[in-house]
Amino acid sequence: MKKIILIFAFLNSILTFSQILDCPDYPNPDFVQPPSALYSRSVLAPPPESTKYVFNVKFHIVKNTNGTGVTANYGENEVMNAILILNTHFNKYNIFFKYIGFDVIKNSLYMKIRSFNGGAQNQNAAHPFFSEMVQYSKTGMTNPVYDYNAMNLYIVEAIDISTVNSSAQTSGVANRPGINSAFAYNRLLTATLPHEIGHNFNLLHTHQGYGTANCELVDGSNSDTAGDLVTDTPASHIPSSLFVSPTCGYLNPINATDCMGTVYVNCPVKNFMSTNTGGPCRQIGADLLPGNAEFTQGQANRMREQIEAYYNSPTNIYGYRNAKNEIESLYEPFAVVDVGSSSTSNTTAYSKTYTPNETNTGANVWNCPTYTLRFQKGFNWIFSNSTIGTLNKTVTDQYNYSINNHLVNVQIPYLGSEVHQAGGIECFSSFEPYIKGDVKSLPNLGSPVIMYETLDQIKASDPNLFEQLQSQEYHIITKETESGFVNQKTIFKN
């Protein structure tokens, strides 16, 4: 009887394959097995909860060589929402993600990729491997886009397309442990995103070992050494819709069992690291904020242990050391955009302040460029200064602040009451000579002009102009610089 049940369960896993699978478990090509201590709850304790980790994140959007394809319109809006998802799901574990930008890989060859040898069955061999795409972005491009100082997230059309059933695909792939991951474009803003990043931080699937002789047991007796090696995720198989109630409880109508024949009673159908085919029980919210899906504290501890062990690695093993950043970086804008250099204008936008110089030959000009400071999604922010007062922005806000020659106070309340400052773009001074003007001379103020002289550039910028004027008369002198500053004064010459 037990044998029959196992066969049924296996068939069921085949059936679920016709839907989008979450991801194959992808060993790092430079894989170095983490010390076994990292896998034993009895040896290591997680780092103090107050220890914070920050990772840079760089996105690469793959498009057809001519820029077309299903990802044609993907850009900052999509990747910024990905940053929102990552932060709102990992910040509670003191893991933070700093957005540092995206770029586009225009090469039709990499629109569809394979995960790795031994991944999903019947992969289309015409498609390059994930690792080949990563390598291309490192060394194959004229201007390589791979960022060694960031986690690299690739967005492609599809992964692991089955030659037998074209609807059988994988939604994501990741190095475990590592800093690289790839996503089918239509799975980027789903539970697949935290799932793959969980792999980057060395999490296994909750059903790891399912169907093997050394599976994790329902009684929990080997949860430290089998399955996903996380004690607070129950022993699990790959749950399908057959096993999940509409309210996201776990059902087991066929009495599926572990490898000792014990019937599963509690599969983590909401867990990010389960493969519940993206069903309604394992979702981020419709607004990309936390929804049903979750990590357990045990999984969070595992991720933090993994990060802690390699965050400051002298050899940059798994790429963590170079991809990390400082907490302070979170307060900084991800981009400082010169307003004048935007696509709608070719001239730099400056606020200018003019002061006539002492020799009357021109004006001293303070040029204060206007910049836009761009702050990422994913945090609640408080911005303040005397110009804007106090502005509260939420995790879903993309805040752009135009600023010149002043500072804005930046707080991220989640990180405490600390205040950082951004902005303070340097102004610079320049000199503009007068280039034209005129002099109106009159015997008394209010009387008709008796003499009118236009000034060319030489006369307008002549420091001795005053000496050449008629004595015992009033003179209204008007001078103008090239950029339009007008200086007018009325004098009486004795």
Residues in touch with Zn ion (CB under 5 A): 22-23
Report residue 441: phi and psi, to 5°.
-115, 140
Residue 22 or residue 305: which is nearer to Zn ion going by CB?
22
Nearest approach, Cβ of residue 112 and Zn ion (Å): 19
The length of the chain in residues reads 494
Nearest approach, Cβ of residue 192 and Zn ion (Å): 8
Residue 271 or residue 360: which is nearer to Zn ion going by CB?
271
Nearest approach, Cβ of residue 200 and Zn ion (Å): 11
SS3 state of residue 27: strand
Residue 27 or residue 34: which is nearer to Zn ion going by CB?
27
Report residue 331: phi and psi, to 5°.
-80, -15
Nearest approach, Cβ of residue 174 and Zn ion (Å): 7
Instruction: Report whether 89 contacts 283 (CB < 8 A).
Output: no
Nearest approach, Cβ of residue 367 and Zn ion (Å): 54
Residue 193 or residue 455: which is nearer to Zn ion going by CB?
193
CA–CA distance from 383 to each of 171, 374, 389, 390, 422 (Å)?
Answer: 38, 12, 8, 6, 10
CA–CA distance from 237 to each of 190, 264, 302 (Å)?
Answer: 21, 8, 20
Nearest approach, Cβ of residue 151 and Zn ion (Å): 16
Nearest approach, Cβ of residue 269 and Zn ion (Å): 15
Beta bridge partners of 381: 393
Please, is 328 exposed, middle or buried when counting C-beta atoms within 10 Å of its C-beta (0-12, 13-18, 19+)?
exposed
Instruction: Report whether 22 contacts 278 (CB < 8 A).
Output: yes
Instruction: Report whether 192 contacts 278 (CB < 8 A).
Output: yes
Count CB atoms within 10 A of the CB of residue 152. 25
Nearest approach, Cβ of residue 71 and Zn ion (Å): 22
Nearest approach, Cβ of residue 198 and Zn ion (Å): 8
Residue 130 or residue 136: which is nearer to Zn ion going by CB?
130
Residue 81 or residue 115: which is nearer to Zn ion going by CB?
115
DSSP per position, 169-216: -BSEEEEESSSEEEEEGGGTTSTHHHHHHHHHTTPPPTTTTTTSTTPP
Residue 211 or residue 340: which is nearer to Zn ion going by CB?
211
Residue 12 or residue 276: which is nearer to Zn ion going by CB?
276
Nearest approach, Cβ of residue 234 and Zn ion (Å): 18
Q: Please work out, in degrees rounded to the nearest 5, the angle formed at the alpha carbon of residue 168 by the alpha carbons of 167 and 173.
A: 125
Residue 23 or residue 307: which is nearer to Zn ion going by CB?
23
Count CB atoms within 10 A of the CB of residue 394. 11
Residue 22 or residue 160: which is nearer to Zn ion going by CB?
22
Nearest approach, Cβ of residue 205 and Zn ion (Å): 5
Torsion 140-145-146-151 (CA) sign: negative
Instruction: Report whether 162 contacts 122 (CB < 8 A).
Output: yes
Task: Please tell me the distance from the alpha carbon of residue 207 to that of residue 399, in angstroms, as a whole number.
Answer: 41
CA–CA distance from 368 to each of 117, 340, 403, 421, 430 (Å)?
Answer: 57, 12, 10, 18, 11
Report residue 395: phi and psi, to 5°.
-60, -25
Q: Report the largest interatomic distance among the alpha carbons of the chain, rounded to a whole angstrom.
A: 122
Beta strands in 357-485 (DSSP E): 362-369, 371-375, 381-385, 389-393, 399-403, 407-411, 420-423, 428-442, 451-455, 473-481
Beta bridge partners of 356: 363
Nearest approach, Cβ of residue 317 and Zn ion (Å): 21
Residue 206 or residue 376: which is nearer to Zn ion going by CB?
206
For Zn ion, the nearest residue by Cβ is 23
Residue 63 or residue 237: which is nearer to Zn ion going by CB?
237
